[in-house]
Structure formats: structure tokens, C-alpha cells
Amino acid sequence: MDEKSTKRAWIEDAENRKRAKSALATGAPTNFTSLAIVDLTEDDDNTRMAIVRPTPCYPGAPSSLYDVVGQYREPKDDDDDDLGDTQADTENIEFVASQAIMDMTQTQPFSQDMVCLRLKLHSLAERNLCRDSIEKFKQMGLYEIEFSLLSSVFTFGRDNFTTALVGKYERTSLDIVKLSKKHCVLECKEDATTKRTEVYITDTSTNGTKLNGERLVKGAPQVLRHDDKITLLSSQSGSVLLGYTVEDPHVIAANATVPASSSRNTKRHIQENVLGVLFSSPLVGRDALGGLHPIEELDLCREYDNLTQTLEEASKYAITKPDNSQGVIIMIYIKTRVVMLVPREIDLNVQFATSINFQTMMTLGCRALHFSGHGSPKCLYFEDQESAVHPMSTEELRRFHGGSSSPLRLVVVQACHSQYCATAFLACGIPHVIAVKVEERLEDQAAIVFTKNFYLGLGQGKSVAESFDIGRNSVATFPHLAHAAKVCKVYSAASKFQLLPEGNDHSEIIFPMIEMPLEDYQSQVPVTDRFPTIWSSKLPSVCQHFRHRETDQYYICAHFSMTNQSQRFVWIVGPAGVGKTQLSYSVARYLGARKYFPAGIKFVYVSKLADDDMATHNNNTISLGPRVFSAIKNRVQLWLSRAFDEQKSTSYFNGLLVLDGVDALLGREENDFMKWIETICTQYSSLRLIVTARKQVVSSVFQIHAGRMQHIHSFKPGQAVDLLRRLIGKQRSLQLSGLTKSPIWNIKNHPDPNINLSLVLEQHPALRQTQCLPQEIANLASQLIASPNVTMDDLVAKFGTNDNI
Ligand SMILES: Nc1ncnc2c1ncn2[C@@H]1O[C@H](COP(=O)(O)OP(=O)(O)OP(=O)(O)O)[C@@H](O)[C@H]1O
């Protein structure tokens, strides 16, 4: 790549990142107002809300409104010692899991970008590798490989592994030369007859590839299933030297059910070992006129994974104490006892940043506090009870404290424009505060690299100053970021991080190592799973690049979190492929992480059950409705009694039931179905319900149980282009020369070529053919990726030019 094209690539990359933050960047004001009483019932166009008056939200705030709006009750925790209460403690998330495993693999509808299979390095193969090689495998994407229709083909070959096996000895001991240059190919595609998304493996090697111990027929594709074992190299006795295990995320999700109280964390915590983590990702901000401004949801789950992996990694390495002066005489031998310096077991207290949670965290005490969220020069964006922004000003922040005996010594404010808030913490007497410089937006990659390296240092007993330098240097030298700064001539991302007060002594060690005799250290079993689970792996993940639904999601979350417990269900309605199912996933993940549903979450894929029923009855639709209805009733009843009756939590713990794609029940059964909804809502007062359907219904149940009809519309053209470009990513480029069918392709001449391209794309008939439905946009993206030489113009010619918008 010449310098010019590198520069273009980086500019494009920077643009992409800018677009990723578009919700904040495009005109959303930063002076959001605080809590408001909202009349959701009168707002069906989902655009504006009534605002009453801004209210401070902190314990003791002189406001009666707080009492009205803030009656939200945290789920009762009967274990007082349980600081880091885990979501897994109480969750009970299930899929409809009665079919055979084969069927279970696809109980969810598939989309282009949904991961349908994952290959994981075989445990025996992992055992053969040194730590450096494993790290290299991870870096090269060879440790875990995910397949979706968008990233469809993967080839295993000798070259991958020659680079990945760092130890020379490993290459010979594994006999890497026995691998062919192109050993086998894996491809994800839709089966023409069953319409299932499958991953096929085809052997292309000289020495053979084995599947479950059997050698594959060369050149013949074979479907992969959950738990299959792929062997690329084996020993003479047949054991796996290099190979992979196949995982189907849906099977794992379907089979993993944790009884409500099985893993209650009973550990006692010591304040000095606690790192408090405060996450904040409000969905919208409200301006002074009550206008809503969507805010892109942060990928806090990834950030949390990054943090926990780092702390776990840091805890694994002990060092020998250099000073041996503590030698003792043991029996008749004169022997120096080896003393180890062992990292402290840092405990996490993870909360979402509401004012109540923040005060609780301060009262319980922690040694360090990490805040991650959005911010403006004047405030941090906390979350209110309805998942909107609660702006936390510097003055308000100062009011939170843990009393004179608070062990808090360090605060890391990882948010844009956080310097002012950092000063609030300094004013509270916190000696070390790390912030991002005012006016600087924090690039996600920089934050991840900094967090990882900073906490690695802190976890290894290094001082604040040392850890900060390690974190900042890693950002400065991280290839991607360093290169971006060089090419785009922006100053280094590392200079955005500040350790305050500047010039003070930051040599304090926050989590000092513990001294321990070698024998005690060796007899210790490392504690795994010690961090609370916030985002359950059992919940379905939203599709890649899930976007532009923050406001819809806000309305649903706000509906459920209103203090009025009678607001029981939301009916999500919209055309096929508009994203109803994905929205329900997103709501479940958002509220699930915030412990809104301790009684559990259950998804029932009604449309899938209807399809399966049709397939078993030779597409006979007679009695389809009653059959599906009765199957659903049985399943739901089972779950309801487990979640509510057996847990004796009918009146207290909320649970969420999602009935996805209920259109098959909206024919003759509609009345019965609505009556049944009324019955279960009456019987289980803590049940919250999301129903998705293409059809809207009119029923008195909406009045009785304060149901909300949530209309989901197609994307706006600009959003459609945004999604298309994100999905295509770097996999291929879109050139103006391939967009001549856009009516403005030679008229629009925006000085920024990137914006120009988006504007031309917005008007292009191939984009308009998608009707801006996310599913159709994903299909368009996959067609473009699959055929790099096909232009958008060619796709119009293929499907005709009818303009649907
Ligand atoms: N907000 C979004 N952002 C990005 N992609 C989306 C979004 N919503 C949906 N998609 C894409 O569209 C696909 C279909 O979405 P989904 O299954 O939720 O649609 P649906 O409205 O439930 O359709 P149906 O009525 O057919 O069940 C997703 O798999 C995803 O690829």
C-alpha cells in the first residue's frame, strides 16, 4: 500500500469511528436535563416526550419528585455480605429447548451476521502449546474462529501455523510439515433445501483431515455440528496434536440453565481489595424542551470482559521476594525459606451508574473506582430509572462520599471530557485521579489498551504512577493507534490520559502484593469465576452492528421501569425484517444486566415453532394455530411455575417472557391468545411480557394491563447507509464509479469524499430496494461482500429499478 492509500484508509477509518459516535456527534446537545415524568401512553410516534422539571437525584435531594419517580426498588438481596452479587445468582434464562440437539442449533432465526458456529482450539492441542504460542494464536484469530454468513470462508493451512507456533521446537514436535499449504476449507452458507445456515468442512490436504476421528473424503464437504472434533494433526496413537472443537452458541445457550440460587456468591469482601466499577450507558438524553436524543450504547460487555481477563491474568503471576533475610532454621538443615510476593485477589463491585448505586458503592467502600461511560465537559452521564441520561454535575458528584474512613484512593474516569469531573473527585480528597483530557473524545481502542495495561500493572502490585505509565506507553506504541496518529497527524491518543493532580506524588501502591511462603503459595488453588456475571452468555446476543434503535429501546425500558407496577407488556409491531426480534434481545440484555428480571428471562420463538410444526405436518396449515398455541401454553406454564411459584417470588421478583413472532396465533386464535395473555398477567403480577408481531391487534388487554404498542419503522436512508457501510466494513470498497444509477452521483460534490459517498448511496436505487429494512440491508451487504466485482449498479439491473421509498 502506498502512502496515499494508507492515508486514505486511515482517514476512512477515522470517519468510521466518528460515525460510530454519530449519536453524540450529530447535534445531540450535551446539556441534557435530568429526570422527567413522562407520559408514555400518549406518545405513539416515538419522537417526543413531555418534560415536567429537572430534578437532582441523589439521596436526600430536596425534591418530592425524586420520591415519585425514584420509587424503583432494587431487587432484595437476602445476603448482606454479597457485595458483588452476580446476575447468574438469580437468572433463569431458557430457550425453548424441547427439540433434539440438531434442531436446537437453529431455534433462533438466522441473519447474515449472526455467529452460527465457533471453532475453539482443542484442549489437547492447547496443552501442546507454550504460553507465547497461545497468545499468538489469539492474536492471529486462530484460537477461536467464528462463522457467520458475512465472514463465510476460512482456510486452514501450514502457513497460518508456521507463524503462530512461536517455539521452533513446537513446529518440529508437532510435525507441522505434514500440514498441506491449503489443508482444509470451512465455509458458512445456507443449505438450498433446508434453508438452514450450515458450516461445511472440506478436506483439501495430502495427509488428511479427521472429523471425530474419521478421515474426511478429500474434496467432499461435510456439515459441522456442535461438539464435533476436527483433527488437523494427530499423534501415531491418534490423539489430537492440533485440532479444534466445534461449538454451536445456540446449543450452549439452550442447554445452560442455572437454577436460581445455585451459584450464590457467599464470599466476604474486604474493602481494601475491592475495585468498584461503575458503568453507564443511558439510551437517550433529554434536552430542556423534552426532546430525545439517542446515544449510542457503549460496548460495556466487551470492556468488562477486558477488565476481568486482565485482573485474572494479573493474579496468576507471583514473584519471589528478592530479600531473603527472613531465612529460618528448619530442623537440622539450615535452609532459607522462599517467600513469594503474591498478587492480591481483587474483588469487583460492579454497578450501573444510577445515583443510588453510586452512593451504595461509596458507603460499602472500595479501594479504587473505575467509571466508564459518556461525559460532557460539565458532567458525567449517569443513568436514571428509565435508562435516560441523568447528568451528574461536578457539584453533585462532590456530595457522594463514603465517610471519613473511606478506603477510596484512586478514581479512573473513563469518559469523554472527564477532566472536570476528575476535579470533583480531587476535591473530595481522592489523591489519584485518572481522566481523559477535556475536549478529547476517547477512542474505544485507546481506552481498551489503556485499561488492560493499567490494571495489569495495578493488579501486579505496581504503584499508580508506574501503572499509569505502562498504560499510556502501551497506547502510544499500540500499532493501530500509533500509526493512526502518525498518518493523520493527530496527536497521540496516549496524551489524552491524565494523572491528576499533576506533579503530585503518585507512588502509592493501591493493591499491594501479599507475602506468602512458597509452600503455601503452591498449595493454593487459583480461584476462577470470582467476578460477578453481568451480561449472561445465556442471553441471545444482538446482531453485529445493532444500531439506531436507542429511542425504541428507551420507550420499552422506560415502560417496564416505571414505578407503576401495572405496566405489564409491550407489543412490538413492524414489518418483516425491521428488527423486532433484535430489539427484544437488546432490551433483555440491557435490563437483564441491570438486574431488572431476577426471576429469569425466557424466549419463546413462536414463529419458529410454527415453521417446525408446518414442516412436520407437510405444510398443512389446518389447525396450525391451535397446535402451536397449545405447545406454547405448556412451555410457558412450566417456566412460569418454576420462575414464580417455586421461587415464591410471585409478588416481588420480576421476570421477562418474550413471545417472538406470534403472527401464527393472530388468526382465529387471536381472542383466545389475548385472553390467555390477560390471564397470565393477572396471575403473575411480576411478569413482564414482550410480544413481537408483524400484525397490530386491538384488545382490551392493553387497557387492563397497561400494554404499550411499540411501532418499529424502517431506517431512515442515512441510517440505512450507515448500517450498510458498517456491515461491509473493510471487506470491500464502494466506489462512486459503481453508483452511477444514483440520481445525484455526479451532482453531489461534498468536499469530504466520505460524506459525498454516503449521500450518493442514500439515493441509490439498490439501497432503496431494501426499503431501508435492516434485514434487506444485511442481505445487500452480503451480496456485495460475496462478489467483490459486482457494483451496486449491477444489483439494480438484476432486480429492476422500482423505487420503493
Ligand atoms: N437495529 C438493527 N441494526 C442492525 N441490523 C439489524 C437491526 N435490526 C435488525 N437487523 C438485521 O435484520 C435482521 C432481521 O432482524 P429481526 O429478526 O429482528 O427482524 P424481525 O422484525 O423480527 O423480522 P420477522 O418479522 O421476519 O421475524 C437481523 O438478523 C439483523 O441482521
In this predicted model, what pLDDT tens digit does every residue of 312-342 receive, in sequence order? 888 888 888 765 444 443 433 434 567 788 8
* Residue of the CA atom closest to atom 13 of ligand 1: 775
Residue 576 CA to ligand 1 center (angstroms) comes to 8
Q: For residue 413, which amino acid is it?
A: V
More confident residue, 772 or 334: 772
More confident residue, 322 or 48: 322
Ligand 1 pocket, Cβ-based, cut-off 6 angstroms: 109, 111-114, 543, 545-549, 574, 576-582, 607, 661, 692, 694, 723, 774-775, 778
Q: Which of 426, 406, 399 is nearest to 506 (CA)?
A: 426
**In the predicted structure, residue 94 carries a pLDDT above the cut 80:** no
Signed CA dihedral, 550, 551, 556, 559: sign only = positive
User: Which atom of ligand 1 approaches the CA of 584 most closely?
Assistant: 18
Q: Is the dihedral of CA 507, 511, 516, 518 positive or negative?
A: negative
Ligand 1 atom, smallest distance to 693 CA? 25
Cα 694 to ligand 1 centre (Å): 12
Segment of 53-57, 236-240, 280-284, 525-529 carrying the highest mean pLDDT? 280-284
For residue 606, give the C-alpha cell. Answer: 413462536
pLDDT higher than threshold 90 for residue 168: no
Amino acid 497: pLDDT:
87
Q: Which amino acid is at 667?
A: G
Return the ligand 1 atom nearest residue 112 CA.
31
> Using alpha carbons only, how large is the chain's radius of gyration in Å?
28
Q: Are 107 and 252 in contact (CB under 8 A)?
A: no
Instruction: Convert 231-279 into a string of H (helix), E (strand) and C (coil).
Output: EEEECCCCCEEEEEEEECHHHHHHHCCCCCCCCCCCCCCCHHHEEEEEE
Gap from CA of 393 to ligand 1 centroid (Å):
38
In this structure, the residue with its CA closest to atom 16 of ligand 1 is: 579
pLDDT at 54 over 80: no
Q: Ligand 1 centre from 117 Cα, in Å?
A: 19
Q: State the DSSP string of 44-100.
A: -SSSB---------STT-S-HHHHHHTTPPPPP-S-TT-TT--HHHH---B----S-
Ligand 1 atom closest to the CA of 111, numbered from 1: 29
Separation of alpha carbons 603 and 639, rounded Å: 10
Question: 697 C-alpha vs ligand 1 centroid, how far in Å?
Answer: 21
Q: Whose CA is nearest to atom 3 of ligand 1?
A: 546
Ligand 1, residue 581: give the atom nearest the CA: 18
First to last CA, the chain: 39
Highest mean pLDDT among 284-288, 458-462, 473-477, 621-625: 458-462
Residue nearest to atom 2 of ligand 1 (CA): 546
Q: What is the Cα–Cα distance from 128 to 240, expressed in whole angstroms?
A: 10
In this structure, what DSSP letter does residue 489 have?
-
Q: What is the mean pLDDT of residues 773-800?
A: 86
| Kind and range of the H or E run holding 156 | strand 153-156
**Residue 338 C-alpha to ligand 1 middle, in angstroms?**
60
| The ligand 1 atom nearest the CA atom of 607 | 27
Q: Checking DSSP bridges between strand 368-372 and strand 410-414, what pairing results, if any?
A: parallel
pLDDT class of 49 with cuts at 50, 70, 90: very low
542 CA distance to ligand 1 middle (Å): 9
Res 79: pLDDT: 33
The residue behind cell 444500531 is 547
Q: Which residues contact 667 (CB under 8 A, 6 or more apart)?
A: 625
Residue 114 CA: nearest ligand 1 atom is 29
Residue 80 pLDDT greater than 90, yes or no: no
Per-residue pLDDT at 550: 95
Which of 150, 552, 581 for mutating ligand 1's site (highest number of atoms within 8 Å of CB)? Answer: 581
For the CA of 110, the closest atom of ligand 1 is: 29
In which band, very low, low, confident or very high, does the pLDDT at 797 lie, cut at 50, 70 and 90?
Answer: low
The protein residue with its alpha carbon nearest to ligand 1, atom 12, reads 775
Q: Which atom of ligand 1 is nearest to the CA of 543?
A: 30
Region class of 650: left (phi > 0), else alpha (psi between -120 and 50), else beta: alpha
Highest average pLDDT, of 421-435, 538-552, 559-573, comes from: 538-552
Q: Is residue 458 pLDDT above 90, yes or no?
A: yes
151, 190, 582, 714: residue to mutate for ligand 1 pocket, most atoms within 8 A of CB: 582
Q: How many CB atoms lie within 10 A of CB 195?
A: 10
Which residues does 798 contact at the CB level (< 8 Å), separation at least 6? none
Residue 577 CA to ligand 1 centre (angstroms): 5
The Å distance, Cα 513 to ligand 1 centre, comes to 49
Atom of ligand 1 nearest to the CA of 586: 1
Cα distance between residue 249 and residue 146, in whole Å: 10
Q: Are 464 and 445 in contact (CB under 8 A)?
A: no
Mean pLDDT of the chain, nearest integer: 77
> pLDDT tens digits, residue range 498-537?
999 988 999 999 998 888 787 777 776 666 677 888 988 8
| Res 194 pLDDT > 50 | yes
State the pLDDT at residue 29: 43
Q: Tell me which residue has cell 481498551.
A: 448
Report CA-CA distances (Å) from 607 to 250, 317, 520, 622, 629. Answer: 17, 51, 57, 16, 11
Nearest-CA neighbor of 595 among 78, 57, 74?
A: 74
The share of the chain scoring above pLDDT 70, in percent, equals: 74
Nearest residue (CA) to ligand 1, atom 4: 546
Q: Say if CB 562 and CB 527 are below 8 A apart.
A: no
CA pair distance 786, 799, nearest whole angstrom = 17
Look at residue 560 and give its three-state secondary structure. helix
Atom of ligand 1 nearest to the CA of 694: 25
CA of 344 to the centre of ligand 1 (A): 45
CA of 147 to the centre of ligand 1 (A): 18
* Domains of the chain as residue ranges with CATH: 44-69+271-321+335-523 (3.40.50.1460), 87-96+538-711 (3.40.50.300), 117-247 (2.60.200.20), 717-799 (no CATH)
C-alpha cell at 657: 417472557
How many Å lie between the centroid of ligand 1 and the Cα of residue 25?
Answer: 25
- Distance from the CA of 170 to the center of ligand 1, in angstroms? 45
Q: Cβ(425)–Cβ(409) under 8 Å?
A: no
Residue nearest atom 6 in ligand 1 by C-alpha distance: 774
Q: Which atom of ligand 1 is nearest to the CA of 113?
A: 31
Peptide bond into 282 cis (omega under 30): no
Assess whether pLDDT exceeds 90 at residue 150.
Answer: no
Q: Tell me the CA–centroid distance for residue 431 and ligand 1, in Å.
A: 48
- CB within 8 A of 732, min separation 6: which ones? 784, 785, 788
Q: What whole-number distance in Å separates Cα of residue 51 and Cα of residue 49? A: 6
Give, in order, the Cα–Cα distances in Å from 499 to each of 426, 439, 471, 472, 504. 11, 16, 11, 10, 9
> For the packed helices 774-786 and 792-799, what is the interaxial angle rounded to 10 degrees?
110
Name residue 340's beta-bridge partners: 320, 516
Helix or strand or coil: residue 436?
strand
Atom of ligand 1 lying closest to residue 545 CA: 4
Summarize pLDDT for 638-680 with one digit per residue, the tens.
888 888 876 554 456 788 999 999 999 998 889 999 999 999 9
> Binning pLDDT at 50, 70 and 90, where does residue 253 land?
low
What is the whole-number distance in angstroms between the Cα of residue 578 and the centre of ligand 1?
A: 5
Cβ contact 508:367 at 8 Å: no
Residue that has been written with the C-alpha cell 464435533 in this structure: 228
Give the cell for residue 329: 532454621
Q: What's the number of CA atoms in the CB half-sphere (13 Å) around residue 396?
A: 23
Residue nearest to atom 24 of ligand 1 (CA): 576
Task: Work out the average pLDDT over 359-365.
Answer: 86
pLDDT at 466 over 50: yes
Ligand 1 pocket test, pick from 106, 108, 111, 665 with the greatest ligand atom count within 8 Å of Cβ, gives 111
Nearest-angstrom CA–CA distance, 295 and 285? 7
- Which ligand 1 atom is the nearest neighbour of the CA of 715? 1
What's the gap in Å between 111 CA and the centre of ligand 1? 8
Beta strands, E only, 322-400? 328-330, 333-335, 339-342, 347-352, 368-372, 379-383, 389-393
Count the Cβ atoms, other than its own, within 10 Å of residue 289: 8
What length is written for the chain? 805
When mean pLDDT is compared across 351-360, 375-384, 466-475, the lowest value belongs to 375-384
Q: What is the mean pLDDT of residues 118-141?
A: 87
Angle at 770 between CA 768 and CA 775, to 5 degrees: 150
| Bridge partners for 190 per DSSP | 197
Cell numbers given for 8: 486514505
How far does residue 48's CA lie from ligand 1's centre (Å)? 24
Residue 754 Cα, ligand 1 centroid: separation in angstroms? Answer: 27
What local confidence, expressed as pLDDT, does residue 32 receive? 54
Distance from Cα 584 to the centre of ligand 1, integer Å = 10
Expressed in angstroms and rounded, the spacing between residue 581 Cα and the centre of ligand 1 is 6
Question: Ligand 1: which residue has its CA nearest to atom 26?
Answer: 576
pLDDT value for 153: 85
Q: Ligand 1 test: best mutation among 149, 549, 714, 775, most atoms within 8 Å of CB?
A: 775
